[in-house]
Structure 1
Amino acid sequence: MRRPCACETCVSEAEVSLWFDERYNLSISPLLTKQNSLLSESTYKWWMRLQGERNPIDVNIATEELFKVIPGESNLLERSPYQCRTCAVVGNSGNLKESGYGLDIDSHNFVFRMNHAPTTKFEKDVGNKTTHHFVYPESVRDLSENVSMILIPFKTLDLQWVVSALTTGTINFTYAPVPRKIKVSKDKILVYHPEFMKYVYDRWLMHHGRYPSTGLLSVVFALHICDKVDLYGFGADSKGNWHHYWENNPSAGAFRQTGVHDGDFEADIIGNLTSIKKINIYRGR
């Protein structure tokens, strides 16, 4: 029987772990497209509860407007048994400092980064290649021309913001200030599917916390896109501090217990994925 990929081991291979097989569902699309933009009732209700918008517009109207402005198409989802697609998912932990992982990270087919994640001046440790950058409107930053932006929408307004940021620039505030305009070409904007967010919350997080962190959303996304997944910049540094690699303040990581994400449960998921060799994690040197 043909293996699902050309790597030594393939993420999507079944019957390696019952725990994994009970959670992993390749039939759910990670990306929102024109073709799959109708949300199921249960997803819609869950997603609308995430952030209390007053009188949001109908989500179907918002997605219809969105796909008039962006194509939302990508070859990301095309897997082949003849390929070995490698992903580096780069978190923002201080354990990347002095790690020297840069070249290693850049050697992957896909390099996923998230939120602010600067690379300038940190190339030796974090690399300088980015293929896809996960953001939400409040964490968006200017990206290089060849980088795709993956918007994680937590509310209908986020979809409207994409349209606004590419056209009229009228939205400059959600629950916090957001950029009126973004420098990203329209065909480089992809949208994380709310249905997939709920799948991560239901199947992987088992309803711990209010919703998954950007880190966990990126990791499960990678499991659906790549055959080999390597994680960098996740977890505390060697002294147990939770902070970002670009900060000099080791105690800056008080965000770990935000009440929104269950950091410990998410860390257990990453630990399980590592122990069954579905991912490799590099914890700094």
Structure 2
Amino acid sequence: MKLKEKALIVLLCVTAICVSWRGYRPCSLPQDKSPCACERCLSEDDLWFMKRFNKSVEPFLSANYNLSEDVFNWWKRLQSEKGNFSTFRQTVDRLFLTVPPSPDLLESSPDRCRTCAVVGNSVNLRRSHYGPLIDFHDVIIRVNTGRIKGYEADVGTRTTHRVMYPESSMDLDNTTHLVLAPFKTVDFEWLIINKTLEIHKFAPGLMSWFIKIGLKPNSDSQQVMVLNPAFMRYVHDMWLEKKGKYPSTGFLALILALHMCDEVSVFGYGADSDGNWSHYWEKLNNKRLKTGPHPGDTEYRMIQELDDLQELRFYTGF
């Protein structure tokens, strides 16, 4: 048998095997399997991105996570925390007696495309008509008291996760995960009380005390997740290069989405045309409204950079 004929027979055999293995899909040379089923997954090839993105960081606290004292000392300076490390650890231990010991997350898979919409509160959402596009995503993360009623055409109707701290809390239904962004030990106490007492009925004194110090009672949602102070430091150090005092809740939510999903879309971030950082549901009276301790301009430039690198899609509004 001639050499060419032998080579043709071998090629036909290989093709037949490929067809049988792949269910009659075109055969190709072996390649690394994509980590997700999206058109484009978060890239591990971009050096700029991978210099900042750390897969090993755990975004959420869990019962088995041991926060280092070094991270605690960084965290306690954010809002002049007065408790010591021992008090903090005891409080967190009590917290996980009332909330699930670990968060329920949708794991990555080559057969799955996890899509996230992160919805900020910028006035740039007004008249954007992004609502249907936002609702199309699997995970929809909103921030603090971002409103829906009356703004559905621009912001959508669904919420799966809401990142907030007690001073900006709101009632949640039982389909929405509360993602607590803690900045002090009393924030954990707030969550413990909410999970163990119906304070409106049985502890009016506690309710008055919370209101006095600026913490609003929240409805008892069983779906609770707590941002890890180590994750908050990672966002500040790696993504913001230590600019500003600490990241905004909105920017924490955005980096959280990069760790939770394969495709991330971002809506409602940035100042208005006059440079004011106002909310889409408010009439702006203070024409000098800036971002306080948050490095708003740095955060915005980082979002633009991620969009330029196609690591996320940034919808700026109209």
Q: TM-score under structure 1 normalisation?
A: 0.92
**Does the CA-based 8 Å contact 1:53-1:155 persist in structure 2?**
yes
The alpha-carbon distance between structure 1 residues 233 and 72, as it changes in their structure 2 partners (threshold 3 A), is farther
Q: Which has the higher contact order (CA 8 A, sep 6+)?
A: 1
- Of 265, 269, 274, which residue of structure 2 is paired with 1:234? 269
Distance 2:314 2:136 in 1: 16
- Of 218, 230, 246, which residue of structure 2 is paired with 1:211? 246
The structure that has the greater radius of gyration is 2
- Of 280, 289, 297, which residue of structure 2 is paired with 1:264? 297
CA offset digits 1:34-54 (Å, max 9, x no partner): 121x21122111011111133
Is the aligned partner of 1:177 residue 2:208?
Answer: no
**Does the CA-based 8 Å contact 1:165-1:182 persist in structure 2?**
yes
SS of residue matched to 1:25: coil
Q: Which residue of 2 aligns with 1:191?
A: 226
The alpha-carbon distance between structure 1 residues 201 and 182, as it changes in their structure 2 partners (threshold 3 A), is same
Deviation at 1:97, TM superposition (A): 0.9
The alpha-carbon distance between structure 1 residues 270 and 217, as it changes in their structure 2 partners (threshold 3 A), is same
**Does the CA-based 8 Å contact 2:165-2:187 persist in structure 1?**
yes
Q: Which residue of 1 aligns with 2:28?
A: none
Runs (4+) of structure 1 exceeding 4 A deviation are 238-241
Distance 2:258 2:157 in 1: 22
Distance 2:291 2:212 in 1: 21
Q: Which residue of 2 aligns with 1:14?
A: 44
Distance 2:83 2:103 in 1: 32
Q: Which moved more, 1:240-249 or 1:270-279?
A: 240-249
Q: Which moved more, 1:76-85 or 1:60-69?
A: 76-85
Letter of the 2:264 counterpart: V
**Does the CA-based 8 Å contact 2:276-2:288 persist in structure 1?**
no
The alpha-carbon distance between structure 1 residues 253 and 70, as it changes in their structure 2 partners (threshold 3 A), is farther
Q: Which residue of 2 aligns with 1:35?
A: 64
The alpha-carbon distance between structure 1 residues 125 and 198, as it changes in their structure 2 partners (threshold 3 A), is same
- Of 72, 85, 89, which residue of structure 2 is paired with 1:44? 72
Distance 2:314 2:138 in 1: 17
Report the identity percentage: 42
SS of residue matched to 1:197: helix
Q: Which residue of 2 aligns with 1:248?
A: 283
Distance 1:276 1:79 in 2: 21
Deviation at 1:241, TM superposition (A): 4.2
> Please, which runs of 5 or more residues in structure 2 have no aligned partner?
1-31, 200-205
Q: Which residue of 1 aligns with 2:203?
A: none
Q: TM-score under structure 2 normalisation?
A: 0.83
Q: Which moved more, 1:131-140 or 1:266-275?
A: 266-275
Q: Which residue of 2 aligns with 1:87?
A: 116
Alignment root-mean-square deviation, CA: 1.8
The alpha-carbon distance between structure 1 residues 231 and 79, as it changes in their structure 2 partners (threshold 3 A), is same
Deviation at 1:202, TM superposition (A): 1.1
**Does the CA-based 8 Å contact 1:72-1:189 persist in structure 2?**
no
SS of residue matched to 1:266: helix
**Does the CA-based 8 Å contact 2:276-2:289 persist in structure 1?**
no
Q: Which residue of 2 aligns with 1:123?
A: 152
Distance 2:115 2:241 in 1: 27
- Of 129, 142, 167, which residue of structure 1 is paired with 2:196? 167
**Does the CA-based 8 Å contact 1:5-1:82 persist in structure 2?**
yes
Letter of the 2:272 counterpart: D
CA offset digits 1:246-284 (Å, max 9, x no partner): 0122x54744241x1111111121111111010111111
The alpha-carbon distance between structure 1 residues 136 and 72, as it changes in their structure 2 partners (threshold 3 A), is farther
SS of residue matched to 1:138: helix
**Does the CA-based 8 Å contact 1:237-1:284 persist in structure 2?**
no
Distance 1:72 1:214 in 2: 23
Q: How many residues align?
A: 278
